[in-house]
Amino acid sequence: MVSSEFINRFNQVARSPDPDLATAALLIARLEFRKLDASRYLKQLDQMGEEALHRLRKQQTSKAVDPLKTIEVLNIYLFKEQGFTGNGQRYDDPRDNFLNEVMDRRIGIPITLALVYIEVARRAGIHFEGVNFPGHFLLRMRHPSETEEGINTDIIIDPFHGGVVLSEMDCRRLLREHIGDEAIFDGRSLIRATKQQILIRMLVNLKRIYIKMRSFPQGLAITELLLALNPSSMAELRDRGLLAYHLNDFSSALRDLEVYLKFTSRRNVKETEEQEEHKEIWEYVKALHRRVASFN
């Protein structure tokens, strides 16, 4: 079980205005690697940032920053020389979600490769922001200049595919690949991901994998962190109750599921899927009442 001290520490780091993502990501990794030395990886990121800065300065021929050249230098350093790459074989390998493993193995999923990119670039004085693109995390480099048509020239890149620059057409195609032909591409598709949203997306990825593996203790620990970041999430409260049920912690399961039913029943549930879910949770609650009563 994850301790309240650990949850509080993670919550403090995740909510800090400091843009640092690596420290929070390495705290997540400690759920799996209890003796993890986070300082080793933070130092490695510092060294990589210094090397990236050195390369950027060598390429800079004027005071004006060429964003495409900056991206090219970072891509060559991270993906060709350092060897970071996307795991196209196993998208559900839990190791690809842990920053220490990504840095050791040089392989990851879009969001963890994006995190490495952001942190190395930040240490080199270059700002990239995460993009909460549906199904496939992306990066944006803000570029304030505009074209003659008045269109902002921000640059979207895909860290999973070697930092390739994406056009609007590329983004539309990527959306269809991950969501389907019915997907609608609009301004919300490329919305900026805040620090907390990035961490939540990493945690949700991990929870999905753990539950699929039936690793319920780890799934419960991840859910505790998600609830720390978003205490009002009824979905996470429900999942914590269901995970507690699978771990035979019936009193905790009953408490969470009753609260979930109490608050969600206040909504006017019209969707058949939601109605079925309520019925299913109610069956769990009735079974839990019987189990808890038998222990008294």
| Domain spans, the chain | 4-193, 234-296
Tell me how long the chain is. 296
Other beta carbons less than 10 A from residue 217's beta carbon: 14
pLDDT at 146 over 70: no
pTM of the model: 0.90
- Are the C-beta atoms of 153 and 171 separated by less than 8 Å? no
pLDDT at 13 over 60: yes
DSSP three-state, residue 46 = helix
Q: What is the per-residue pLDDT for 116?
A: 98
Confidence of residue 54 (pLDDT cuts 50, 70, 90): very high
The better pLDDT of the pair 1, 127 is held by 127
User: Distance between CA atoms of 71 and 140, rounded to whole angstroms?
Assistant: 11
DSSP three-state, residue 156 = strand
pLDDT at 290 over 90: no
As a whole number, mean pLDDT of residues 255-260 equals: 94
Confidence of residue 264 (pLDDT cuts 50, 70, 90): confident
Confidence of residue 268 (pLDDT cuts 50, 70, 90): low
Q: Are strands 107-108 and 85-86 parallel, antiparallel or unpaired?
A: parallel
Q: Is 179 exposed, middle or buried (0-12, 13-18, 19+ CB in 10 A)?
A: middle
Percent of the chain with pLDDT over 70: 91
As a whole number, mean pLDDT of residues 273-294 equals: 81
Q: What is the per-residue pLDDT for 150?
A: 46
Q: What is the per-residue pLDDT for 63?
A: 65
